[in-house]
Amino acid sequence: MSTQVLETPSQVPAPKKNGRVGGGLLDPRQLIRSLPDALRKLNPVTLWRNPVMFVVEVGAVFTTVLAVADPSFFAWAIVVWLWLTVIFANLAEAVAEGRGKAQAATLRAAKRDTTARRLRSSDAVDGDVVGAAELRPGDFVVVEAGEVVPGDGDVVEGIASVDESAITGESAPVIRESGGDRSAVTGGTKVLSDKIIVRITQKPGESFIDRMIALVEGADRQRTPNEIALNILLAALTIVFLVATATMQPLAIYSKLVNPGVPDSVALTSDGVTGIVLVSLIVCLIPTTIGALLSAIGIAGMDRLVQRNVLAMSGRAVEAAGDVSTLLLDKTGTITLGNRQAGEFVPVAGVSEAELAEAAQLSSLADETPEGRSIVVFAKERHGLRERELHGAEWVHFTAQTRMSGVNLGERQIRKGAASAVLRWVRDQGGHPTDEVGRIVDGISASGGTPLVVAERGRVLGVIHLKDVVKQGLRERFDEMRRMGIRTVMITGDNPLTARAIAEEAGVDDFLAEATPEDKLALIKQEQEGGRLVAMTGDGTNDAPALAQADVGVAMNTGTSAAKEAGNMVDLDSNPTKLIEIVEIGKQLLITRGALTTFSIANDVAKYFAIIPAMFAAVYPGLDALNVMRLSSPQSAVMSAVIFNAIVIVVLIPLALRGVRYRPSSASKLLSRNLYVYGLGGIIAPFVGIKLIDLLIHLLPGMS
């Protein structure tokens, strides 16, 4: 395999990509590099997709015209900060997109112009040399050691060692062979040994690398349903504040007519200043903060997946991962290590455990299977038995016919294997096994283990209990899932007794034993009918229907093309436990979006108290009671609010890119925490920030 399975994914750092650990703090140099892209995004044709920032840009253009017609320090200062607000918003998106450009450059280095030997059929010997761009689905190509795979496809003949480091970042080569679930190869990878014949499955320009480049650059990112809904909400709030602000000047005019003796408010000084103040009021009251950061949050969520070597085919899949309520997990390789290991020596009456351990170790010294090696190690750890060289030993290797293995040492003949096979051998040697052996074997089987009987000539010594070892830390992870309201279901082909024992040890909520592809599909549909979103992993063609049905289907990169096409995510490391991390990343995306939306709306409330009293206190003295900040002047209040509104966007860019830290808990607790931290913080921050800015600028010319 290309990478070892992580036992506790939450305890390891994110994989390094291009020399950095994903999700780090914002690099100031990245801001500078992204500035040209931010300026290019000022094009209204591009910006109109973001209605909030489009309104801000229109307001910046309008105030620029007013400042040219009626110039003043106040007018031009507002103009500069309104344009900076738009640029900072574009900068957030540009930085998020820029984080993927280095990854895209690395991928493009792997996407080179290659030639291919196209065969007329899969069994042909000679072929025509063509460019990789000329290959079409269904073509057969032959790839030998040292050559680059010209396109995505499946191995139909041969076996080879393949370097996939250009795609996965892992230097260890992987084996690709015809048949089974390890037949898929990716264009741009390199064959290191032997020769394979590949059937091309993708059109030019639609290869795995092409899709990955489009993803990490953000060029192929579609807005998700939640993002679209939030954009509609932000647009509605913008319209509401536009209408509300449009009434300000008529209200000031009416107040002046009714009470001619009152002084002019800042909303009714001159036509130029009035227009600038009203635009500033609109910009400060509409949700510019979340409007500026919304795209960056979505792009950064995709980026966090790519940093963990997961390719999401759509933003909808990432969002769905955050709303998943049922996780379907394969037992082997996900919940268990996949290789059964020795966990206990159970001797029969009259035999010591040390004697059984010594015979078990001797019979396993030449057994290179993971189970055999675990027996040797277990005997060494439990009884201090050391591996040793045996001279003159005759090794008896396991076969499907005998179903046992062992060793002959002179007069000693030791065997271990399946109970029925070893007991038959004992009887052939003239022995008479007791019923005790059967009871031990049945007990181990009922507990979910695998019994291996050990015998020496005509005498049974005991039974080795092989356990399907559950990975460390998973019970705690499943407890976290439970606190998040996520139900975990283990899927296995084992019998119900074995499945139940492993499920109880691992701490999953439920299990599906003796599962067939039809059973998996039926379980997913049943969960979805109850209104739940389902996530699962798979790698084989038989998993494709279930992967396609699941809301989040994570296909292993080592799997078949059918599995990868059916799923909406591909794990390049082929680590099934990563499904838990994917769910956490999805949750983090949704929480980040919710937290910054809460902060943005709370900001607007605070800015309302900062600006409105300062603007109209002269006309309506009763509003002076709401002027809790006691800002220096109405002009200073407006400018301070505009400056704070622009600066807070830059301050929040790192949080949007990194994401709000996720702590597993219920939805109600998450909501309470967001309201407390980001709601209350969003109200307090503007009061503090605007007051500090006011203190700095109130002595500037034209601001008194």
| Strand-pair category, 487-491 with 510-512 | parallel
Q: How far from 34 is each of 29, 101, 236, 550, CA to CA, in Å? A: 9, 11, 30, 37
**Nearest to 546, CA basis, from 571, 565, 566, 573:** 566
Q: Is 330 a catalytic residue?
A: yes
Is 398 annotated in a binding site? The answer is yes
Distance CA 209, CA 110 (A): 8
Distance CA 546, CA 560 (A): 14
Catalytic residue among 163, 330, 494, 571: 330
Residue 628 neighbours by CB distance under 10 Å = 11
Q: How far from 524 is each of 135, 271, 326, 507, 518, CA to CA, in Å? A: 37, 64, 9, 21, 10
Is 402 annotated in a binding site? The answer is yes
Is 271 annotated in a binding site? The answer is no
What are the beta bridge partners of residue 330? 491
Distance CA 655, CA 289 (A): 12
Cβ within 8 Å of residue 166, ≥6 positions away: 106, 107, 109, 110, 188, 189, 190
What are the beta bridge partners of residue 412? 409
Cβ within 8 Å of residue 531, ≥6 positions away: none
Is 416 annotated in a binding site? The answer is yes
Instruction: Report the chain's C-alpha Rg in angstroms.
Output: 34
Classified as helix, coil or strand, 153 is: strand
Q: How far from 423 is each of 353, 418, 463, CA to CA, in Å? A: 19, 9, 11
Taking the chain, what is the end-to-end CA distance rounded to the nearest angstrom?
Answer: 71
Q: How far from 543 is each of 24, 132, 221, 520, 550, CA to CA, in Å? A: 36, 30, 27, 8, 11
Residue found under tokens 């998700």: 224
Polymer length of the chain: 704
Is 543 annotated in a binding site? The answer is yes
601, two tokens: 């709306």
**Residues 579/554, Cβ–Cβ less than 8 Å:** yes
Is 367 annotated in a binding site? The answer is yes
For the chain, helix (H) and strand (E) counts, in that order, are: 25, 23
* Residue 390 per-residue DSSP state: -
The HSE-up count of residue 152 (CA atoms within 13 Å, CB side) is: 22
Is 241 annotated in a binding site? The answer is no
* Phi, psi at 58, each rounded to 5°: -60, -40
Query: Letter for the amino acid at 195?
Result: K
Binding residues for ATP: 367, 371, 398-405, 416
Binding residues: 367, 371, 398-405, 416, 539, 543
Which of the residues are catalytic?
Answer: 330
Binding residues for Mg(2+): 539, 543
